[in-house]
Structure 1
Amino acid sequence: GRPCEMTPIRMPPMALMKVMIRPAIIISIAAGFLVSKAGVEGTADKAFVTQLATNPVSLGVVSGASALIGLVPGMPLIPFMALAAATGFMAWRLGRARLKPQPTEAELAAADPNAKPKEDVEEPIGTALAIDEVKIELGYSLLSLINDLEGRRLTDQVRALRRSLAQEYGFVMPSVRILDNMRLPTQGYAIRIKEMEAGAGEVRLGHLMAMDPAGRQVDLPGEHTREPAFGLPATWISDSLKEEATFRGYTIVDPSTVLTTHLTEILKENMADLLSYAQVQKLLAEMTGEEKKLVDELIPSVVTVTTLQRVLQALLKEKVSIRDLGAILEGLAEAAPHTSSVTALIEHVRGRLARQLCWQHRGDDGALPIVTLSPEWEAAFAEALVGSGEEKQLAMAPSRLQDFIRNVRD
């Protein structure tokens, strides 16, 4: 029936220090283990032993840390000093072993007369002849784009671009090789197609590119430049101006996106050249069902793979998607028995893709814009045709063609 009374516990300062320090040390060591273990395969105990046993610097750090912990008031001195001495001795032995000079090949041969001399293996000449179809060269400062901690890694964006081109054009982009080039500016890059430079530019790490959708110069402090893919006026601004630029309606992109956009436009311009014979064979091999039967009947008895490659290249050069490969093969099956002209085959395939072409070029209102020729221009083009049959070509004076282009634009 008596009320409960709480009596405060009084602890000496030294005991209180022990209670506070020991849990903090244990938590710090555990956190260090977790950080060191990240990205390392295998169990934590094996990784811990391996990292310590192979690095004298790590053992030296452990020895010094153990000695300091042993000197902390309230901590057991003898166990920590023993650990410091053991790890210090191991660090000294391991360091001496690394400093010991390694025997040369001549010394090894003298020690073992029966040993065969090491022969230099010549690298196959084929590796020197290999050509990278698509390659990105980065200046030294841009290597961090490959491992961007904010999730905008260049490799991830290239992977997404590969899928985007496949969905939009039916074109499977070759693998992209990314490497450094010390001859480039530190923040410069170069894009090569079959070892030939197809585009180059510079980006600014730690900054954002701001562009006015209307094509005007951005009215913000920063480094004025040109967007490399389309040549539009742009400005590199600091991250602190991002909100203001967004409020003004400017388009904001990061450096890796600028590079990827430039790569996208270059690939679109070179899809036809990058569509190789082997890639066409892969496209045919991946077809299934009824389309596979069509391939077996058509290739190569009616249409060769080379002819199909030329047709697909012509379509890609005009930015026409080849994703509907079944319709393209059906068009070739209809026209190939009547003509061997690649030009005639391409024209017939375009007719099979009429719905796709109209949808691709429709306006925002759904209408298809067209251009009609006046009787005068029809007569001019008819008179400029030379040759006969499938060899017929247009031979109009360049000045006359410029007049036609000017009239179309006006």
Structure 2
Amino acid sequence: MKKYNFIVAVFVVMIIFLIIVPLPPFWLDLMFILNLTLSFVILITSMYIRESLEFSIFPSILLITTLFRLSLNISSTRLILLKNGNAGMVVKTFGEFVIQGNAVVGFIIFLIIVLVQFIVITKGSERVAEVAARFTLDAMPGKQMAIDADLNSGLIDEQQARERRLKIQREADFFGSMDGASKFVKGDAIMSIIVTFVNLIGGVIMGFINQVGSFREIMQIYTTATVGDGLISQLPALLISVATGMIVTRSASENNLNEEVAKQFLSQPKVLIMSGITIGALCLIPGFPKLQIITVSVGMVILGVILNRKGSPVVQAEEGLLPETEVTSEASYYKNIDNVYGLLAIEQVEMEFGYSLIPLVDESNGGSFIDRVVMFRKQLALEMGMVIPSVRLKDSGQLNPNQYCIKFKGEEVARGDILVDHYLALSPGEIAEEIEGIDTIEPAFNIPAKWISNDKKIKAELAGYTLIDPTSVIITHLSEVIKAHLHELLNRQEVNNLLANLRKTNETIVNDTIPDIITVGNLQKVLANLLREGVPIRDMETIVEILSDYGAQIKDTDMLTEYVRQSLKRAISHKFSEAGQMKVISLDAKIENMIMGAVKKMDSGSYLALDPQTIQNIVSATTTEINKIKDLVQIPTVLTSPIVRIYFKKLIDQFYPNIVVLSFSEIDNNIQIQALGNISLA
């Protein structure tokens, strides 16, 4: 098709020349017929498209065809005025056919045609295009949010979302262009009226100057030529105006206009029968032509009866066989074993809601939950360097109306209760006044709280309570659960996505390291170790470089993780310190030596082999120190030597999974360390 790309450019250049270069009658006739043909092609095309974007070049076509008609008007006017009304056979034939020997009647009919196009079709198309453009632009944000919602809920993938966004943008561009292009049609209609009077008045003047004949003969010649020229110009303009109206009023559907009209008009046979009977009643009015009325009435009734007979058995069959057909269809579908495997697919992150909570999630009811999930995904990517997968949202009849649950890979990991029309009130500790409410536990942090009604909101705020709306309660719970299980969501596909993103800025380090020095599987284990302890993996370049340095000699992923952690000490220090200060509990050297003496090394790694009594003593000592500082720090941090950190973390993790264990090598030099206690054995 590329070899035909020049045709449109040549055609537009030719139109420009038509305005300047005089055309002989033969070539003008050819151009008029070509113009009429193009108009029919455009009109029929507009009837067969399913939606406006299938004919997205229409605004440009409208401009080109309008320019083409105006150039032909100029050429025909030139011939009418110079050749005594002889502007070719097409103009003459159209003029004589309409006038039928009476110049006045023919001229009035022509004016009616022009005014119908200008006032009815063109004006209507222009208004529809203007409204469509305005509403399309106004609806863009809502449509884009709906696409994001479908993407977040897993109904569509990223490629489909991108295609839908592009389609919305194209629709806005199209209707915006149509709003302006419809002005071409309006201007063309006005210009046709002006050209008509120029041809008539100028022709009569030229007729008298050239002494063509008597006044009656001059009027006959130039009226015929004027009406013929105007009609051959306005007929294509009328067709394209109709096509404009069809396109701007065409909504997206499964079929084209012909099929939709036939389907929707003939889908109600009773309407046809009633209409036929109503028309037949006009025979009771004296003076009406009974033969014509009876013909139309009988035809409508017969058509309605035929369609009703054809439609009834279909409806009965559908009503009677529907359950059996569904069962048979389902059984047939699952005969294919590949379809059974489709049932095994599970969502990585899924949320189920009781029916009372659906308004919080449903965007059509003003719910903002989906937008909050999108913003959380953005924030987590900036904070931890990982993009969480789409969260599948659905309702569940198995939950209580006010309950929701969070699932990872098909299994429930958390659950909560929400009162939609209430606020969750968190007490700051000492309060001036107790607020009446329903006692509960905040689901994300297990803090005692109360659900208070909306009428007590102001009173609770004045009393010092912190109020949280239901959507924020759920999104906070979801975010904390995802952060706690983030390492589980890091699959190999996501690792490959992170590597692909790194290749955009440092392709060399990725190619040098993966998979020659470290495999994607081992990289996944290192990243999961970091995420398990809340260490961001956003600096993938540094992580891969450290693994490239040590991966050839060290095969233990736990040890590789320790080297990576030391290289990320700025990020770790920033995350676990506050205002440049870190409050910690130190680990006694005696316990460290005891732990190191119990480390057993194997080919696949190393493990800690302490006797149960020693483990209990270390845990008891840790518990004592944590209880001493629980009012000073929210999350306790234990500081150890680098070689002991990983083993102490594994030991204490069984009893205190949320405790932070850091080594001296993971703390930046500008961080001030404040020791609040020391874990030691008595």
Aligned-partner SS, 2:581: coil
Output one character per residue of 1:43-75: Cα deviation in whole Å (capped at 9) or x when no partner. 67969x99x98999xx9xxxxxxxxxxxxxxxx
**Equivalent residue for 2:407?**
192
Equivalence for 1:374: 588
TM score, norm. by length of structure 2: 0.44
Aligned to 2:545: 330
Distance 2:435 2:311 in 1: 57
Q: 1:248 deviation in Å?
A: 2.5
- The answer to whether 1:213 aligns with 2:433 is no
Q: Does 1:294 align with 2:509?
A: yes
For the structure 1 residues 254 and 99, does the alpha-carbon distance in structure 2 shift closer, same or farther, using more than 3 Å as the test?
A: farther
Whole-Å Cα distance in 2 between the matches of residues 266 and 370 of structure 1? 25
Pair 1:95–1:214, CA change in 2 (3 A):
farther
2:419·2:470 contact (CA, 8 Å) conserved in 1?
Answer: yes
- Distance in 2 between the 1:226 and 1:266 partners? 16
The offset of 1:402, in angstroms, is 2.0
- Please give the per-residue CA displacement for 1:4-48, whole angstroms capped at 9, x wherever unaligned: xxxxxxxxxxxxxxxxxxxxxxxxxxxxxx9xx98999967969x
- Residue in structure 1 matched with residue 370 of structure 2 by the alignment: 155
Using the alignment, how far apart are the partners of 2:432 and 2:341 within structure 1?
50
Decide whether the 8 Å contact of 2:384 with 2:538 is kept in 1.
yes
Change (3 A) 1:352 1:106: closer
The aligned runs of 1:138-177 (5 Å cut-off) are 138-147=353-362, 152-177=367-392
Q: 1:293 to 1:355 in 2, by over 3 A?
A: same
Shift in alpha-carbon separation, 1:97–1:222, aligned structure 2, 3 A = farther
- State whether structure 2 residue 337 is matched by structure 1 residue 120: no
Contact 1:215 1:233 in 2 (8 A): no
Alpha-carbon distance in structure 1 between the residues aligned to 2:448 and 2:615: 32
- Aligned partner of residue 320 in structure 1, secondary structure: coil
For structure 1, which segment, 143-152 or 173-182, has the greater mean C-alpha deviation from structure 2 after superposition? Answer: 143-152
TM-score (norm 1): 0.70
Quote the residue 2:396 is aligned against: 181
Mean CA deviation greater in 217-226 or 263-272: 217-226
Match for residue 398 of structure 1? 615
State the superposition RMSD in angstroms.
3.9
- The DSSP-based 3-state class of the residue aligned with 1:102 is helix
Matched residue type, 1:221: E
Aligned equivalents of 1:192, 1:219: Cα separation in 2: 36
Counterpart residue number, 1:77: none
Q: Distance in 2 between matches of 1:291 and 1:215?
A: 54
Q: Gaps (5+ residues) in structure 1?
A: 1-33, 60-88, 109-116
Q: Which residue of 2 aligns with 1:346?
A: 561
1:221-278 residue CA offsets vs partner (Å, 9 max, x unmatched): 2211111111111111111222222223322111111111111111111111110011
- Equivalences for 1:2-401 in 2 at 5 Å? 102-104=315-317, 120-122=332-334, 124-147=339-362, 152-214=367-429, 219-363=434-578, 365-383=579-597, 385-388=598-601, 390-396=605-611, 397-401=614-618
Query: Counterparts of 1:206 and 1:100 in 2: how far apart (Å)?
Result: 51
Q: CA deviation digits over 1:131-175, x for unaligned, max 9? A: 111110111111111225685521111111111111111121111
Matched to 1:324, the amino acid is D
> How far apart are 1:407 and its partner, in Å?
3.8
What is the CA distance between 1:215 and its match in structure 2? 8.7
- Residues 217 and 234 in structure 1, CA contact (< 8 A), matched pair in contact too: no
Letter of the 1:391 counterpart: S
Judged with a 3 Å threshold, the aligned counterparts in structure 2 of structure 1 residues 133 and 346 are, in CA distance, closer, same or farther, namely: same
Percent of aligned positions that are identical = 30
**Offset at residue 121 of structure 1 (A):** 3.2
Shift of 1:392: 4.7
**Bigger radius of gyration:** 2
Answer with 265-274 or 365-374: which moved more.
365-374
Structure 2 regions of 5+ residues with no counterpart? 1-134, 144-170, 172-246, 253-259, 272-300, 322-327, 629-682
SS of match in other structure, 2:445: coil
Greater fraction of residues in helix: 2
Distance (whole Å) between structure 1 residues aligned to residue 430 and residue 408 of structure 2: 29
- CA–CA distance in structure 1, aligned partners of residues 395 and 562 of structure 2: 44
Q: Which residue of 2 aligns with 1:113?
A: none
2: CA distance between counterparts of 1:234 and 1:186? 20
For 2:386 and 2:505, how far apart are their aligned partners in 1?
Answer: 21
Q: In structure 1, what is the Cα distance between the partners aligned to 2:310 and 2:425?
A: 56
Structure 1 residue 103: deviation in Å? 4.9
Partners of 2:504 and 2:517 lie apart in 1 by 20
| Deviation for aligned residue 1:366 | 1.4
User: For 1:253 and 1:104, how far apart are their aligned partners in 2?
Assistant: 55
Aligned to 1:112: none
